[in-house]
Chain A
Amino acid sequence: MAEPVQLQRMEPAIDVSEVRFRYSASGPEVLHDVSLRVEQGEYVALIGQNGGGKTTLAKHFNGLLKPVAGVVRTMGVDTRGPSVAELARTVGYVYQNPDHQIFAQKVRTEVAFGPHNLKLPPEEAARRVDEALELVGLREYADEFAFSLGRGLRQKLAVASVLAMSPPVLVVDEPTTGLDLQGSRNILDLLGRWNADGRTIIVITHDLALVAERVPRTVVISGGRIIADGATSTVLSEADLLGKAFLRPPQVTRVAQRLQKFGIASDVMTVAQLRAQLRLALGE
């Protein structure tokens, strides 16, 4: 049994190869010949304009959608083979709208659903549920009705439900929507820690400032095509390219680029970097 596991470890976490997709036979093509490879242990941001195809692509990673042409492999397994429930052990997917995911009455029951489905022993399942609720900061809400939580807390609940399954690959579709800064940072920090533990994380978001602070690799999708893929600092400083996907560099980058003639670096990405640059320029 040890050998095949060893072999699987060499496989990319996600391997999308020349994928085309349309929602119905008569409908327009939504993904055009998309190829993307994410190695195990990577932390990747998927960004791009509304309707660009981010959610559609992400739903291919765990087999919720199957390609019309091309192949998607997760941890080496063709997603056309196993059922969505089987794939859920490998790839956790947090929906963009938490209400598409939440169906239990009580917060605790909702989070327990995954571990229960994995047929974990009850003590282990309970431990996972407590841990997941603790991680997203919902412990005090464990016995509340899920739909009495505000939108931001429901967002956290959706994340907790997937964390409790502890999948090696985690795909999170706009987890910071409607969260305050602390909530957003907490979620991204949490994903960062999970990544440090060796898990593969793919996060979809419009919050480029947080991406710049925390995510090493960025993929830009626009009009159903991947138009950029590389180190976050490179991708986010290319204003023209971002403009094509209705994105713009973070505010500090825009300001830095306007102050270039005073020696401010144009690839500034974070608040701390711009402050340091200005401190230097204004010091003496």
Chain B
Amino acid sequence: MADSTSEEYVIEVQGLRFRYPSSEREALAGVDLVVRRGEFVGITGPSGAGKSTLCLCLKGLIPAGELSGRIQVGGKAVTRQSAFLERSALVFQDPETQIIGLTVAEDLAFGPENLKRDPDLIRAAIPRMLHEVRLDGYDEAETYQLSGGQKQRLAIADALILEPDILLLDEPTSELDPVGKDEVFEVIAQLRRKRDVTVVMVEHAAEQLAEMADRILVMDDGQIVDQGPPHVLYRSAATFHRPDGERAPQIAEVLFGLLQDGLIDESEFCAREEDAINMLTDKLSRHHVRLASHG
């Protein structure tokens, strides 16, 4: 039994608590989380909720401070003493913490070189990675000259080039233009079609998250306060749909309104754009027919 669990669950967190040295509050105040192999888990929640702290812990980069609870990643316990977690990669919230190379190509090569990967394969991978994040031709550009969004694109490529089994991303698209956001989600979707990659992604872009995530967690004050698959979670009035609520996809807000107006029922609620268009098209056509047959 124990064996099959660690096979199925690549991330297991139990009763995780963490406090930064200078702080009175706990940044993580009892987090329990299991993630299945190949699952795409989204995390959202207000500023200061503890999302980044959780990402750092999952990557084994436990910050200085008081830690208790259990973290297991890829079947191995994560502690301050544990070895570098080679199978996982983290895209940091601030790309400038991550980018260390002088040029874009040097920066991309740094990670895999450190892992002693084949230099020829690294060289071949660089243009491919730059293409994935729409930075074609930027190989020799100096990293300090990149715009905010271009730096973020590079930081994502830095993680992808490591070909991790577990991809952790901390608000990787926050500075990307709208099409760029879609492209990053598409790159991850392709990756998951090719390999059994597990994805944990902190993200405020609710619309894209709703399209891709199997499950979304909402964090607040160091805890997971709500979770579910998009079409269920985004119906939650406690978390969304109020002035100080979290961001839901616009279409989910519209459908939540129609639900309240009694114009659709719960089984018709959805959070994905195409699902919503199909549902509404169907409903509006039937409505038209009815009106026509009456009139």
A residues whose Cβ falls under 8 Å from a Cβ of B:
23, 48-52, 55, 96-97, 99, 144-145, 148-153, 155-156, 174, 177-184, 206, 208-209, 243, 245-248, 250-252, 254-255, 258-259, 262, 271, 274-275, 278-279, 281-284
Question: Interface stretch among B115-123, B159-167, B257-265?
Answer: B257-265
Q: How far is the CA of A279 from the CA of B244 in the complex (A)?
A: 25
Give the contacts of B1-42 with A (CB-CB under 8 A).
20, 22-23
Chain A residues, Cβ within 8 Å of B80: none
Q: How far is the CA of A152 from the CA of B93 in the complex (A)?
A: 10
B163: min CB distance to chain A, Å = 25
Give the contacts of B272-295 with A (CB-CB under 8 A).
273, 276-277, 280-281, 283-285, 287-288, 291
Contact present for A282 and B258 (CB under 8 Å): yes
B residues whose Cβ falls under 8 Å from a Cβ of A:
20, 22-23, 44-48, 52, 93-94, 96, 145-150, 152-153, 171, 174-181, 204, 207, 243-247, 249-251, 253-254, 257-258, 261, 263, 273, 276-277, 280-281, 283-285, 287-288, 291
Q: Which of A153, A252, A258 contacts B254 (CB 8 A)?
A: A252
* B290 closest partner in A (C-beta): A284
Q: Which of B175, B247, B291 contacts A174 (CB 8 A)?
A: B175
Contact present for B46 and A262 (CB under 8 Å): no
Contact present for B284 and A247 (CB under 8 Å): no
Contact present for B204 and A148 (CB under 8 Å): no
Top 4 A-B residue pairs of the complex, sorted by shortest distance between their CB atoms: A152-B47, A50-B149, A181-B247, A246-B179
Q: Which of A49, A152, A177, A274 contacts B179 (CB 8 A)?
A: A49
Contact present for B176 and A247 (CB under 8 Å): no
Contact present for B178 and A179 (CB under 8 Å): no
Q: Could you list 26 A-B pairs, sorted by A, with CB under 8 Å?
A: A50-B150, A50-B152, A51-B146, A51-B149, A51-B150, A145-B22, A148-B22, A148-B23, A151-B47, A151-B52, A152-B46, A174-B148, A177-B174, A178-B171, A180-B247, A181-B247, A183-B46, A206-B181, A243-B179, A246-B177, A248-B178, A251-B249, A251-B273, A255-B254, A259-B280, A275-B258
Q: How far is the CA of A112 from the CA of B95 in the complex (A)?
A: 28
A95: min CB distance to chain B, Å = 10
Contact present for B257 and A275 (CB under 8 Å): yes
A209: min CB distance to chain B, Å = 6
Q: How far is the CA of A257 from the CA of B81 in the complex (A)?
A: 56
Contact present for A49 and B177 (CB under 8 Å): yes
A228: min CB distance to chain B, Å = 15
Contact present for B287 and A282 (CB under 8 Å): yes
Contact present for A178 and B93 (CB under 8 Å): yes
Chain B residues, Cβ within 8 Å of A148: 20, 22-23
Chain A residues, Cβ within 8 Å of B253: 271, 275
Contact present for A178 and B47 (CB under 8 Å): yes
B264: min CB distance to chain A, Å = 8
The answer to whether residues A178 and B174 also contact, given A259-B284, A282-B287 and a CB cut-off of 8 A, is yes
B252: min CB distance to chain A, Å = 9
Q: How far is the CA of A209 from the CA of B205 in the complex (A)?
A: 11
Q: Which of B47, B94, B249, B291 contacts A183 (CB 8 A)?
A: B47
Known contacts A178-B93, A206-B177, A248-B178; 5 further A-B pairs (Cβ under 8 A)? A182-B243, A206-B175, A246-B179, A252-B254, A284-B291
The answer to whether residues A180 and B277 also contact, given A145-B22, A279-B261 and a CB cut-off of 8 A, is no
* B45 closest partner in A (C-beta): A180
Contact present for B263 and A279 (CB under 8 Å): yes
Q: Which of B44, B48, B153, B176 contacts A206 (CB 8 A)?
A: B176
